[in-house]
Amino acid sequence: MPTSRQKEERMWALAEKFAKSGDYIGWWDVEPKLRSLGYSRARSLLDNEGVRARLDRICTEARKSRISRIKGGVLCWTMKACARDSIGFAPRRGRAALAALRVGAPSQ
């Protein structure tokens, strides 16, 4: 059984991995994902201005890099981050807004 320190270290590694993926807008978007994976202390561990700023910075740079690789927005409908940018909604506004973007997109 992993110690709490080991679990926290894995959580930090996952938080950074998610931020670098370009799929997340900021720390507030990464935190629920961590909790859904069983990291119940994610909220309290991310309750630090420096940590939040670092994750936000990583997310922003990863999203800029990822979006710059898209040619003409053709692939935009497949990417969470790009879809969020297209309609400007906050992460928790729901799937309905994201689904509205997919109207006319090929089935996955």
Q: What pLDDT score was predicted for residue 67? A: 67
**Is the confidence at residue 7, as pLDDT, over 60?**
yes
Position 108 scores a pLDDT of 43
Mean per-residue pLDDT for 38-65?
92
Split into its structural domains, the chain has a count of 1
Is there a domain that residue 12 lies in?
yes
Write out pLDDT tens, residues 55-95. 999 999 998 887 666 544 545 544 454 544 444 444 444 45
* pLDDT recorded at residue 68: 62
Residue range 59-68, pLDDT digits in tens: 999 988 876 6
Residue numbers of the domain that contains 46: 4-101
pLDDT of residue 105: 45
Q: Where are the alpha helices (DSSP H) in the chain?
A: 4-21, 27-36, 42-45, 49-68, 80-87, 95-101
Q: Does residue 14 lie within any of the structural domains? A: yes
Determine contact, residues 52/15, Cβ cutoff 8 Å. no
Would you say residue 108 lies in a domain?
A: no
